[in-house]
Structure 1
Amino acid sequence: MSRIHLHLLSDSTGETLENIAKAAIGAFENVEAVRHFWPMVRSDVHLDRIMEEIAANPGLVLFTLSNHQLRRRLETRCRALGLPHVAALDSVTDALSNILGQETRNRPGRKHILDEAYFARIEAIQFTIAHDDGVGHENWEEADIVLAGVSRASKTPTSIYLANRGYKTANIPLVIQSPPPPALYSLKHPMVVGLTVSPERLVQIRRNRLLSLNQAPETSYVNLDKVQEELAFARRMFADNGWPVIDMTRRSIEEAAAAIINLFNDRVLAEGA
């Protein structure tokens, strides 16, 4: 069994880059690929921090960086470390062939690897839809990720996006008057992530939601004091349980999902260490 570290750097969510890496690895037999996922790389400071991790776990560096200065900096650092580095639109398969010392084998069954990934994604989507908004908590242990947050904190759209990336995701609304089921605090397999948002932004989102439903926009649901109380309740829960927190105030769904996937991958690597 050959073992290789793959470092995937993207200035966006990295979804395309991750799919390319999966497809290329599928062309080889008996390979354990340890993927290090680095999305949203947009500054020299961020890149320098990543390079420290790459130096500690040398391997193949695959990247999609549109900023030419950042790309040159990455290439220079990789050359200094003697590491192979390839833009994702270059021949990824050729680079893997060189570093692994084997040719790809075009034989029946290779496509089956990709088929399995497809069906796993469909299964993740089905699971996520069936476990939206606190439903099916008795099955949460089967999830990869559980998102928790107050109403309108973008739990459902983030869950669906993660499901499309192949992660079984459940989500639960945090309501002061209705505490979560005890199962939430005893989960072993899933990573629980708290979603939060600024009070002012949340009031705006909720008000727009009520207006879209032709409902009165002046209720306790959009009262700033009540909203702050809800958010404080959620933050205390996150802190008491040591759950990572993603602030959705200025993040798109794609950016939030990329950050969550990064946390998930770090957790998997830590557990395997």
Structure 2
Amino acid sequence: MSEDGKTNPRRRERETILSIVTASGIGRDVIRDNVAVTEQPTVELHIVSDSTGETAARLVLALEAQFPEQAFEEVRHTRAETVDDLERAVASARGHAAVLIYTLVDPELRDAMRRLCRRARVHYCDLLGHPIDAVARVSGHTARMTPGSRAPLTPAYFRRIEAMEFAVKYDDGVGAGLDEADIVLVGVSRTSKTPLSIYLGYLGHKVANVPIVKGIKPPKELFELDPTKIVGLTIHADRLAEIRRARVRNLGANNRRYAELSEVYDELDEATAVQRKLGCPVIDISELSIEETAQRILRTVEGRKAEAAEAEVT
């Protein structure tokens, strides 16, 4: 809740989607109750938009990162401008393990979509309706109701794009841009390094990540970096083994050793040794969401840089 007691619209939408997904049985059981991923169906995320669907797609990317073991299929229904278009989208989701996520600026279409989803018993989430109504009430202005309206291309926008491209370019130690990064994440495989890098990139931070692999030395450049921007990631061994087993099953691979608990302990021990050598703080992600971990990373890096700046002054 905000200070004036009103729910933040963006937070409300995020929480709504997460509650819909867990209520439909595709999140909580997989992540918290040790149910094998192979017993869970692929979840269809149907994006319905009167424009290109990019607004919803960006949120879906963040949503999928919350459920790393779950298999998703993204289905887009773009340029939905009539009730017939909406009916076709709902029909394609009916009877499936699906969540229908829509961005429709026309209030009549939003109402129609809500009725259709309820009638078909399809889980749904309106990404624009509540925020548009809330902003209109607070500001006293009427929304343009123009599909595909884009925010101004500000320096912050271009900074986010650059940061996200950076995260992809320097994922898993690829490339030689560690010194250009604002933040460098260090941890074993399946500690959410990649989704964290992308999410932090969306927030405008250039993030590179370096995997710790048993028997392979990290790049020497890692030990030459400004230590204030390095953050280690760790996870409980049994939790990591569970995630890796699910990963192996999903890929249909035969690399059982990758998920064996003894192998996991060895890798975590090696990662701990590297992180101690770097002298970096370590965050345990076992019970944290991507967003929670990202905020801890930002607080940690900002705090260390502030301490270093104070030390230079004194």
- TM-score norm. by structure 2 comes to 0.49
Inter-CA distance 246–189: structure 2 relative to 1 (3 Å threshold): closer
Inter-CA distance 115–272: structure 2 relative to 1 (3 Å threshold): farther
Q: 2: distance between equivalents of 1:190 and 1:144?
A: 10
| Aligned counterpart in structure 2 of residue 257 of structure 1, from 272, 294, 313 | 294
- In structure 1, what is the equivalent of residue 257 of structure 2? 220
Q: Is contact 2:194-2:209 (8 Å) kept?
A: yes
Q: 1: distance between equivalents of 2:212 and 2:245?
A: 19
| Aligned counterpart in structure 2 of residue 127 of structure 1, from 156, 166, 179 | 166
RMSD across aligned C-alpha pairs, in angstroms?
2.4
Residue 189 of structure 1 and its aligned partner are, at CA, apart by 7.5
Q: 2: distance between equivalents of 1:190 and 1:172?
A: 16
- In structure 1, what is the equivalent of residue 248 of structure 2? 210
| 1:148 and 2:186 are equivalent in the alignment | yes
Q: Which runs of 5+ in 2 are unaligned?
A: 12-134, 136-150
- In structure 1, what is the equivalent of residue 285 of structure 2? 248
**Higher relative contact order (CA closer than 8 Å, sequence separation 6+):** 1
Q: 2: distance between equivalents of 1:245 and 1:205?
A: 20
Residue 267 of structure 1 and its aligned partner are, at CA, apart by 2.5
Q: 1: distance between equivalents of 2:179 and 2:291?
A: 25
Inter-CA distance 190–122: structure 2 relative to 1 (3 Å threshold): farther
| Aligned counterpart in structure 2 of residue 118 of structure 1, from 157, 162, 180 | 157
| 1:198 and 2:236 are equivalent in the alignment | yes
Residue 272 of structure 1 and its aligned partner are, at CA, apart by 3.6
Q: Is contact 2:227-2:280 (8 Å) kept?
A: no
Residue 190 of structure 1 and its aligned partner are, at CA, apart by 6.5
| Aligned counterpart in structure 1 of residue 197 of structure 2, from 159, 168, 177 | 159
Q: 2: distance between equivalents of 1:272 and 1:175?
A: 33
Q: Which runs of 5+ in 1 are unaligned?
A: 1-8, 18-88, 90-110
Give CA deviations for 1:116-156 in whole Å, capped at 9, x if unaligned: 111111110111110001101x2110000011111111110
The count of residues paired between Structure 1 and Structure 2 equals 165
Letter in 2 for 1:170: A
Q: Is contact 2:228-2:304 (8 Å) kept?
A: no
Q: Is contact 2:232-2:280 (8 Å) kept?
A: yes
Which aligned segments of 4 or more residues in structure 1 are displaced greater than 6 angstroms? Answer: none
Q: Is contact 2:189-2:211 (8 Å) kept?
A: yes
Give CA deviations for 1:43-75 in whole Å, capped at 9, x if unaligned: xxxxxxxxxxxxxxxxxxxxxxxxxxxxxxxxx
Residue 255 of structure 1 and its aligned partner are, at CA, apart by 0.5
Paired residues for 1:87-98 under 5 Å: none
- TM-score norm. by structure 1 comes to 0.56
Residue 228 of structure 1 and its aligned partner are, at CA, apart by 0.3
Paired residues for 1:34-73 under 5 Å: none
- In structure 2, what is the equivalent of residue 80 of structure 1? none
Residue 209 of structure 2 aligns to a residue whose secondary structure is strand
Residue 193 of structure 1 aligns to a residue whose secondary structure is strand
- In structure 1, what is the equivalent of residue 139 of structure 2? none
Q: Is contact 1:144-1:189 (8 Å) kept?
A: no
Q: Is contact 1:150-1:234 (8 Å) kept?
A: yes
Residue 268 of structure 1 and its aligned partner are, at CA, apart by 3.1
